[in-house]
């Protein structure tokens, strides 16, 4: 069975999807997503995929209007730019290895529903016409895949923070199969508390009964592709409901008060005047929904929209300068109306809308794909699934992985993801990228200074913040900073080395590794420390020492007896032993210990028991930090090689909150231990 190499693809409402690349001469092989997480097959609100340019191409000439003239057109630079296709004969093994490898951070799940009731003119992702009888076969296929992969280390070893049902049109599924799919997501996957579960769709064919079934099954977010509320423009684009019907359904969904309700709007559509766009934005502001995403129109060469415009069946789309004005006007209006701008394109109000899936994808979190045509990435590998259920079954029957292709992530992926996430969040800490890619700060400085002078952003205290004009051109800013990374790599290759690879040899020295890990923990102290230490080539205790002081303090090994005796008075705790071969957990009261035959022995009426070589304890850490999204408190004991001997975690109540009495004891013991270290 022939496999095709991977390329990037974006779902309709959320910039995330990765899909199989069409042949090079395929008319859909250029395009991209609004913001900058789309892909080579593109999205209606996106930007064309461009060949990498040198850093010189991103300097803005003096005298240009920053909003409408800074660049001649938009770039497209996803974090996975530079991925290298894996030989089809090896692709299945590469994906299998990714699933066999534990992960140290929360992940996202993408479930693709590759069906639509009709083809919209602007869409570059149409795959299959929807037929109701497909519902059960599709859900059976996805559930079987989740059941097969649920116990793999990639899926099972850390929580899932978001699940996205995209496509295609997931809301086209019949009510019962849709609910069954969501219920199985909850049954089979290790979802974090409050995991965001999004159902993407359109108002047509959805209905409140189906929405309630999805909410009852566990969905807590709906993202509808609206594009515009203007009925005349909607009809020209192939939308079936008029604007009033669409708005009424959005408000009815919000009135249920069961989930975050968001929609996406597009600017620059044929026949969409500035007045129509203004009314669209005002309609959103006066509605009851929780958020909106603004996408710029992208026209696919050879696609139905491009053909309709060239045949004079539709008026031309707005030029890029006018799109810039529409974006700026909408962003300013929404913020004035009380929306928070949480990314370049997404605006939210209230506390319910979290946008976890989108923000996670832009940070580069692992994305695990399920279902026909779904794509994702983990552990340096990107892959997409075959889009046909029949092909998926045939591939498995032949002993092949049911994937369309796979590729290796670029060596600079971590740095590219840091750039993407920082720009999207509105504040790029330049030193954090430099810690991953040494030399970035120096190489990018002239470009950042140029952008500041051109009115695209400011640089203060080592942080670049885009102006409104810079936010519109965010894909170009991203491309420019990626070009700075390219310049570093070229320089390193010229010196006979490469400082950014996918293994721990990415660091030219231990000092570089420690600096990179310190930057990571400074911004995000969450994660499995053992895995982070291994990936940076340092010991666990060295990694612990890089945690901010608010998260970790140390006591001397001489305090071992005092600390163990105190822990024995806490009641039920969780003891963890974490090695390269296992993670063993046991819950109960810690017994009083006593020395004998060279060991500190734990015996008593508790499931916890054993023998500790206390003489090998070199240091003790008091750790209070987020772990898998929840606060944790632990006392951790380290040996003379800097590896963890065992850990004792504060217990949790029935609602999974920390036991407050034990937290108080933890803080008191930490104070004693810290003083003991100071006195030592």
CB 673 within 8 A of CB 555: yes
Backbone angles phi, psi at 306, to 5 degrees: -60, -40
H or E element in which residue 278 lies: helix 274-286
Judging by DSSP bridges, how do beta strands 18-20 and 6-8 pair with one another? antiparallel
pLDDT of residue 119: 57
Q: With DSSP H G I counted as helix, E B as strand and the rest as coil, what are the percentages for the chain, rounded to 5?
A: 40, 20, 40
- Residue 618 CA to its chain's centroid (Å): 38
List Cα–Cα distances, 442 to 354, 377, 437, 499, in angstroms.
35, 30, 11, 16
CA atoms of 357 and 163, how far apart (whole Å): 7
Segments in 81-174 forming alpha helices (H): 88-99, 134-149, 153-156
CB 190 within 8 A of CB 227: no
List Cα–Cα distances, 492 to 122, 437, 495, in angstroms.
43, 11, 5
CA atoms of 471 and 298, how far apart (whole Å): 17
Triad 251, 257, 261: Cα angle to 5°: 55
Segments in 351-473 forming alpha helices (H): 356-363, 389-397, 413-425, 430-436, 440-454, 468-472
β-sheet bridge partners, residue 260: 221
Spell out the SS3 assignment of 305-339. HHHHHHCCCCCCCCCHHHHHHHHHHHHHHHHHCCC
Q: In sequence order, what are the residues at sequence separation of 6 or more whose Cβ sits closer than 8 angstroms to the Cβ of residue 438?
A: 488, 499, 508, 512, 515
β-sheet bridge partners, residue 267: 296
CB 341 within 8 A of CB 332: no
pLDDT of residue 43: 29
CA atoms of 465 and 422, how far apart (whole Å): 9
pLDDT of residue 4: 29
List Cα–Cα distances, 439 to 54, 104, 262, 304, in angstroms.
16, 27, 40, 45
Low-confidence ranges of the chain (pLDDT < 50): 1-50, 126, 492-506
Q: In sequence order, what are the residues at sequence separation of 6 or more whose Cβ sits closer than 8 angstroms to the Cβ of residue 610?
A: 601, 602
- Residue 73 CA to its chain's centroid (Å): 27
Report if pTM > 0.85: no
Q: In sequence order, what are the residues at sequence separation of 6 or more whose Cβ sits closer than 8 angstroms to the Cβ of residue 517?
A: 532, 533, 536, 538, 543, 546
């Amino acid at each position: 069975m022939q496999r095709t190499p991977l390329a990037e693809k974006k779902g309709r409402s959320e910039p995330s999807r990765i899909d199989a690349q069409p042949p090079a001469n395929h008319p859909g092989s250029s395009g991209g997503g609004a913001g900058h997480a789309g892909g080579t097959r593109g999205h209606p609100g996106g930007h064309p995929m461009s060949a990498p340019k040198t850093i010189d191409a991103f300097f803005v000439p003096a005298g240009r209007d920053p909003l409408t003239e800074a660049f001649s057109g938009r770039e497209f630079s996803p974090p996975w730019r530079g991925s290298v296709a894996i030989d089809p004969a090896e692709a299945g093994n590469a994906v299998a290895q990714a699933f066999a490898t534990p992960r140290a951070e929360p992940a996202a799940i993408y479930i693709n529903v590759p069906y639509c009731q009709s083809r919209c003119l602007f869409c570059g992702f149409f795959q299959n016409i929807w037929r109701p009888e497909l519902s059960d076969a599709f859900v059976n296929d996805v559930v079987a895949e989740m059941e097969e992969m649920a116990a793999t280390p990639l899926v099972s070893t850390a929580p899932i923070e978001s699940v996205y049902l995209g496509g295609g049109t997931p809301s086209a599924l019949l009510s019962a199969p849709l609910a069954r799919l969501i219920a199985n997501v909850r049954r089979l996957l290790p979802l974090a508390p409050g995991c965001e579960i999004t159902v993407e769709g359109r108002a047509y064919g959805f209905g409140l009964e189906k929405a309630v079934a999805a909410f009852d099954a566990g969905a807590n977010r709906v993202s509808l592709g609206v594009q515009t509320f203007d009925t005349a423009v909607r009809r020209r684009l192939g939308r079936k409901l008029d604007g009033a019907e669409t708005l009424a359904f959005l408000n009815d969904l919000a009135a249920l008060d069961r989930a975050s309700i968001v929609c996406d709007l597009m600017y620059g559509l044929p026949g969409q005047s500035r007045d129509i766009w203004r009314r669209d934005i005002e309609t959103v502001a006066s509605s009851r929904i929780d958020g909106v995403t603004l996408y710029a129109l992208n026209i696919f060469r050879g696609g139905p929209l491009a053909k309709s415009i060239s045949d004079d069946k539709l008026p031309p789309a707005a030029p890029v300068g006018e799109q810039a004005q529409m974006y700026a006007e909408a962003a300013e209006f929404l913020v004035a109306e009380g929306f928070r701008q949480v990314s370049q394109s997404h605006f939210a109000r209230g506390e319910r809308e979290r946008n976890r899936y989108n923000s996670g994808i832009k940070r580069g979190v692992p994305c695990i794909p399920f279902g026909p045509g779904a794509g994702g990435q983990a552990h340096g590998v990107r892959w997409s699934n075959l889009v046909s259920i029949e092909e998926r079954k045939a591939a498995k029957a032949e002993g092949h992985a049911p994937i369309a292709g796979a590729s290796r992530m670029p060596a600079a992926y971590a740095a590219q993801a840091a750039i993407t996430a920082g720009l999207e969040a509105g504040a790029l800490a330049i030193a954090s990228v430099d810690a991953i890619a040494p030399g970035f700060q120096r190489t990018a400085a002239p470009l950042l200074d140029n952008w500041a002078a051109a009115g695209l952003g400011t640089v203060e205290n080592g942080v670049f913040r885009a102006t409104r004009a810079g936010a519109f051109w965010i894909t170009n800013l991203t491309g420019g900073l990626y070009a700075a990374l390219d310049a570093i790599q070229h320089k390193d290759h010229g010196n006979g080395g490469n400082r950014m690879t996918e293994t721990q040899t990415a660091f030219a020295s231990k000092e570089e590794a420690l600096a990179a890990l310190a930057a990571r923990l400074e911004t995000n102290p969450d994660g499995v420390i053992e895995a982070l230490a291994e990936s940076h080539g340092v010991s666990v205790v060295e990694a612990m020492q890089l945690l901010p002081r608010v998260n970790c303090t140390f006591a001397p090994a001489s305090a071992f007896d005092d600390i163990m005796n105190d822990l024995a008075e806490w009641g039920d705790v969780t003891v963890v032993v974490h090695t390269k071969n296992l993670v063993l957990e046991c819950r109960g009261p810690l017994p009083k210990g006593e020395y004998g035959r060279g060991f500190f022995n734990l015996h008593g009426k508790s499931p916890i028991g054993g023998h500790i070589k206390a003489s090998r304890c070199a240091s003790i850490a008091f750790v209070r930090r987020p772990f898998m999204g929840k606060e944790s408190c632990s006392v951790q004991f380290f040996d003379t090689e800097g590896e963890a001997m065992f850990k004792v975690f504060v217990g949790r109540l029935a609602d999974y909150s920390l036991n407050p009495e034990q937290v108080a004891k933890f803080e008191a013991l930490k104070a004693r231990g810290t003083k003991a270290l100071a006195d030592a």
